[in-house]
Amino acid sequence: MAAVPAGQHAHWSSRFAFILAAVGSAVGLGNLWRFPFQTGENGGSAFVLIYIGCVVLFALPVLIAEIAIGRHAQQSAISSTRKMAQEAGKSANWAIVGWVCTAGGFLVLTTYSVIAGQVMAYAASGFAGGFAQPDGANLFYQGEFIQLAWHAGFMLITILIVARGLKGGIEQVATFLMPLFFVMLIGLTIYSLISGAAGEAITYLFTPDFTAVTGNTFVAALGQAFFSVSVASAIMITYGSYLSKDTNIGSSSILIASADTAVALIAGLMIFPIVFMVGIDPGAGMGLIFTALPAVFADMPAGNIIGGAFFALAFIAAITSSISLLEGTVAFVEEHSDFSRPTAAWLLGFFAFMIGAGAVWSSEFGGVFVDWLSGSFLLPLGGLLVAVFTGWVIPKALMRDELSHASNGLFAFFHFSVKFIVPPAIGFILLLGLDAKFN
């Protein structure tokens, strides 16, 4: 099969399908696993407020920029940035913007799948009644080969969906799973607020206490905002390339970022009442949902089923994100090689699986190297480059044209932000992160 020429790939069936797929990408383990433990580690309510500020000031403008780039050039992230730069009379080397984002998204996938595999295993343990036994959460997650098998299983599902293409795969899965996700999320949150320590959780999340704020709170909040909104990882450029010209990018982006933030806050309201009910330390770190929650579910009425449902919910969130992570690179390979979409999906999925496998064996490699390289370095760098690209390299008139539906106020905010706010802020945060890593 020949490479796919520019603009000749599939397009979303409707704006609604695009929104569901993009919200599906944004809402994921970032909301259900990463947001709660980041909030816990960084002191609760003040982190939540700073996080919301980062979404509005940094992630939203970068999201608008990415969807506009993709929609304008109608190609994968790398080709779109190259094409748009050339159109503006600038160097084709600006494709570096697409390269950094694509590499970041691909690396996120490698370890994302390992954690999602653990989520699947825990859902199985819950439904099998495991939470009631000591260390029962690990019922189906003991030993490296088993852990590898769950990682492989999750990657396999991701590959199979992406191989089916935009309409038959990604769109169908998102339109089926996202409504189910919201129903389950609301149901579980109501249950948790009724049976857990609701008052304490609400105070913890929403009564600002700035005593715990340090420079690191800002680094963590920005990293979390980028990760959660799925920016700087080639995904939103790629999803934007499947959009038609009549879609309002500004309002769609606001909707995507708001839905993602709402889910993070609701997830906080679902998880913290349970955490506080038995007095677990909210700063327990990465393992918060894996170690703390099963122990609590063990003592709750119908805890196994509720716990199983919680991890099933996290699985749904994860799969609609992982398909977007794989799609970013598959779209590029499909465009630039003779590989068909299924072959590209299998090859890249296998490659990502192998790198993730390294993380199963060595947490030093997975947690410290891959996670740092993607989360603390490539995503912020990608965001910085996207902002510089759309704020300084591409003429303002071209951006205005692509964002023709946006009000003057929204466009002015967007352009000011990508030009003057995002680059210095992220540059500073990147340096802080590098300094913390190497000093």
The least distance separating ligand PHE from the CB of residue 1, rounded to whole angstroms, comes to: 27
When the beta carbons of 224 and 304 are compared against ligand PHE, the nearer one is 224
> What gap in Å lies between CA 178 and CA 16, rounded to an integer?
12
Does 31 sit near ligand PHE (CB under 6 A)?
yes
- Give the relative orientation of helices 249-277 and 215-229 as an angle to the nearest 10 degrees: 120
Query: What per-residue string of b and e applies to 393-415 under the rule 16 or more CB within 10 Å gives b?
Result: bbeeeebeebbeebeeebbebbb
Does 348 sit near ligand PHE (CB under 6 A)?
no
> What gap in Å lies between CA 97 and CA 65, rounded to an integer?
12
Report residue 278 as tokens. 């038995």
When the beta carbons of 369 and 392 are compared against ligand PHE, the nearer one is 369
The least distance separating ligand PHE from the CB of residue 158, rounded to whole angstroms, comes to: 12
Binding to ligand PHE by CB under 6 A, coded x per residue (else -) over 225-264, reads: --xx-x--x-x-----------------------------
> What gap in Å lies between CA 374 and CA 328, rounded to an integer?
15
Contact present, 81 and 69 (Cβ < 8 Å)? yes
Contact present, 236 and 230 (Cβ < 8 Å)? yes
The least distance separating ligand PHE from the CB of residue 263, rounded to whole angstroms, comes to: 9
Binding to ligand PHE by CB under 6 A, coded x per residue (else -) over 193-232, reads: ----------------------------------xx-x--
Does 26 sit near ligand PHE (CB under 6 A)?
yes
**Residues numbered 307-346 forming contacts with ligand PHE, rule: CB under 6 A:** 321, 325
Options 2-10, 20-28, 79-87, 172-180: segment touching ligand PHE (CB under 6 A): 20-28
When the beta carbons of 101 and 309 are compared against ligand PHE, the nearer one is 101
382-to-14, 58, 70, 107, 287 alpha-carbon distances in Å = 29, 12, 15, 13, 28
- Selected binder of ligand PHE within 12, 17, 22, 25 (CB under 6 A): 25
**Residues numbered 134-163 forming contacts with ligand PHE, rule: CB under 6 A:** none
When the beta carbons of 84 and 234 are compared against ligand PHE, the nearer one is 234
> What gap in Å lies between CA 303 and CA 182, rounded to an integer?
20
The least distance separating ligand PHE from the CB of residue 52, rounded to whole angstroms, comes to: 15
Does 29 sit near ligand PHE (CB under 6 A)?
yes
Does 108 sit near ligand PHE (CB under 6 A)?
yes
Query: What per-residue string of b and e applies to 325-353 under the rule 16 or more CB within 10 Å gives b?
Result: bbbbbbbbbbbeeebebbbbbbbbbeebb
When the beta carbons of 254 and 305 are compared against ligand PHE, the nearer one is 254
Report residue 260 as tokens. 């993602």
When the beta carbons of 233 and 304 are compared against ligand PHE, the nearer one is 233
- Cβ neighbors of 242 (< 8 A, separation 6 or more) are 9, 10, 11, 12, 18, 70, 166
Footprint of ligand PHE on this chain (CB under 6 A)? 25-26, 28-31, 105, 108, 227-228, 230, 233, 235, 321, 325
